[in-house]
Amino acid sequence: MTDVIIEQATDILRLNDRGSYTVPTSGLYPFQWNWDSALSALGFSHFDESRAWTEIDTLFAHQWEDGMVPHIIFHEEDDGYFPGPDVWQTNRPIPTSGITQPPVTGFAVKRMFDRALDRALAEERARALLPRIHAWHEWFFRCRDPEATGLVAIIHPWESGRDNSVDWDQPFAAVPTEGVEPLRRRDIQHADPSHRPTDDQYKRYIWLVQKFRSLGWDNAKLHDASPFKVVDPGFNAILLRSCADLADLADTLGEAEIAEASRNRVAVGIPALDALWSDTFGQFLCLDRCNGSLIQSPSIGGLLAAFAPISQERAVSLAKRIVDLSTRCGYLVPSHDPVAPEFDSLRYWRGPVWLIVNTMIANGLDQAGQGDVADQIRTDSVRLIRQSGFAEYYDPISAEPCGGEHFTWTAAMVIEILKLHGEKA
Ligand code: DGY
């Protein structure tokens, strides 16, 4: 059975492979997405190491001169997606979006390097990627943490990857909807509209794009000019984990400066992250940087903090919180607490389970010695696949498959889980 699932997952990766990059799923997402690619490369690495490295190389071939790695690369024309290059207007030879996404590449590259069978290839590719990934991390601290707090802000919900999380409802009140060009939404032609963000949210997404576009996508200006600036514990956990992993990789490759600079980021960032802890919820919360207050929203962003090298005490508390959530759903980990009034079991990041986040949380819990809860998360992930196939996300109560089908990163995470933990999952 395990072999059959791995075979099906491998077929999905091949189906969505466009040669040098992979689309998340055809139709809904017809280009290259940043964190999709980094995580999908982990899936490829189990059966084609060279192809896995190419996925990341292609992503970094489109890194901006200032160090940012964009969230979408529009390799080919496709009018089935909105907002396309005509809306972003980033003015690049191969068009890209103008914002970024969770920087999980440092983690992925270290993992691929550590387990590579082709050592010479791994060393060559990792060595070339190392300074580029480091430049991206440094871009974050320069452009998204101008006051050197140790944590970075996202300036658009799409940067978090958790587009319509309840976390953004309150800060979104500061983002207007007036003056937004007419929406030409395509996503709701490819996926059930009740699984997707609302028009009101889309207007605010596009307002921000228009605002940043009017500033010429100059990252020296965007952070301060944005009415949406949120410090997301999940996003920062990914960044800090990638910095820690990059430091280890840099040591192995004899790049002492990168190792030291990356380790310093972790040393400052982890205590700063701790200020986002909430005793009331027993998890981390987002901070609205525009008004300095914690957003009282128990989302999965605060659980994803487990992915960073946080203290043992916090990791144990997060494990407890996840066990508690398991009493209110059939499948871990719901992207929002089912008891919260905003919980919506089908709507994108307001309730559904996502396998990528599951894999990262489980990995963090393993590192903190919370393997039992990590195993429970992985077991639930595989149960979802057996029951509902390789969907984009799933209802955490009924296991209903949601969003796009034949989804690349879901397939990649299944390969990763079954290859590394097969027996237990
Ligand atoms: C979308 O289009 O739904 C993406 O999540 C934004 O990149």
Predicted pLDDT at 1: 75
The answer for residues whose C-beta is within 8 angstroms of residue 48's C-beta and 6 or more apart is none
Q: Which atom of ligand 1 is nearest to the CA of 81?
A: 2
Expressed in angstroms and rounded, the spacing between residue 72 Cα and the centre of ligand 1 is 9
Tell me, rounded to whole angstroms, the distance of Cα 9 from its chain centroid.
20
Answer whether residue 423 shows pLDDT above 70: no
Please spell the DSSP secondary structure of 386-409, one letter per residue: HHH-S-SEE-TTT--EES-SS-HH
User: How far is residue 78 from each of residues 27, 81, 84, 167, measured CA to CA in Å?
Assistant: 9, 7, 8, 31
Give the mean model confidence (pLDDT) for residues 211-234: 98
Q: Out of 245, 255, 337, 392, which one is annotated catalytic?
A: 392
Q: Is 163 a catalytic residue?
A: yes
Q: Are 109 and 56 in contact (CB under 8 A)?
A: yes
Ligand 1: distance of its center to the CA of 99 in Å? Answer: 12
Provide the pLDDT for residue 424: 66
- In this model, does residue 425 exceed pLDDT 90? no
Point out the catalytic residue in the list 159, 163, 255, 337.
Answer: 163
**Residues 42, 112 contacting (CB under 8 angstroms):** yes
Return the ligand 1 atom nearest residue 72 CA.
Answer: 7
Nearest CA to ligand 1 atom 6: 158
Contact criterion met (CB below 8 Å) for 247 and 258: yes
Atom of ligand 1 nearest to the CA of 71: 7
pLDDT digit string, tens, across residues 65-103: 999 999 999 999 999 999 999 999 999 999 999 999 999
422 confidence band (pLDDT: 50, 70, 90): confident
Place 268 in a pLDDT band, splitting at 50, 70 and 90: very high
**Whose alpha carbon is nearest atom 4 of ligand 1?**
158
- Cα 406 to ligand 1 centroid, rounded to whole Å: 17
The preferred substitution site among 23, 28, 29, 160 for testing ligand 1, maximizing ligand atoms within 8 Å of CB, is: 29
Q: Give strand ranges (E) for 12-166.
A: 32-33, 72-73
**What's the one-letter identity of residue 91?**
N
> How many whole angstroms from 158 Cα to the centroid of ligand 1?
6
Instruction: Evaluate whether 160 touches 232 at the Cβ level (below 8 Å).
Output: yes
CA pair distance 74, 164, nearest whole angstrom: 23
Q: Is the pLDDT of residue 11 over 90?
A: yes
303-323 pLDDT per residue, tens: 999 999 999 999 999 999 999
pLDDT of res. 304: 98
Per-residue pLDDT, 163: 98
Give the ligand 1 atom nearest the CA of 163: 5
Active-site residue flag, 405:
no
Scan for tokens 């494990």, then name that residue.
319
Q: Please identify, by atom number, the ligand 1 atom nearest to the C-alpha of residue 29.
A: 2
The pLDDT tens digits of the residues spanning 123-154 come to 999 999 999 999 999 999 999 999 999 999 99
Residue to mutate, 35, 74, 163, 187, ligand 1, most ligand atoms under 8 Å from C-beta: 163
Alpha helices (H) in 61-118, listed in sequence order: 85-88, 105-115
Q: How far apart are CA 68 and CA 139, in angstroms?
A: 6
Residue 269 in this model has a pLDDT that exceeds 80: yes
| Residue spans per domain, the chain | 2-424
Ligand 1 centroid–CA 196 distance in Å is: 10
Residues within 6 Å of ligand 1 by CB: 71, 158, 163, 187
Alpha carbon of 180 to ligand 1 centroid (Å)? 18
Give mean pLDDT, residues 243-251. 98
Q: Give the helix/strand (H/E) hosting 186.
A: none
Hey, whose CA ends up nearest to atom 7 of ligand 1?
A: 158
Angle at 140 between CA 223 and CA 318, to 5 degrees: 105
Calculate mean pLDDT across residues 250-266.
98
Average pLDDT over the chain reads: 97
Cα 10 to Cα 277: distance, rounded to the nearest angstrom:
39
Distance of alpha carbon 22 from its chain centroid, rounded? 16
pLDDT at position 403 over 80: yes
Exposure string over 285-312, b if 16+ CB within 10 A, otherwise e: bbbbbeeeebbebbbbbbbbbbbbbbee
- Considering the entire predicted model, what is its pTM? 0.98
For 376, the 3-state DSSP assignment is helix
CATH topology of domain 2-424: Glycosyltransferase (1.50.10)
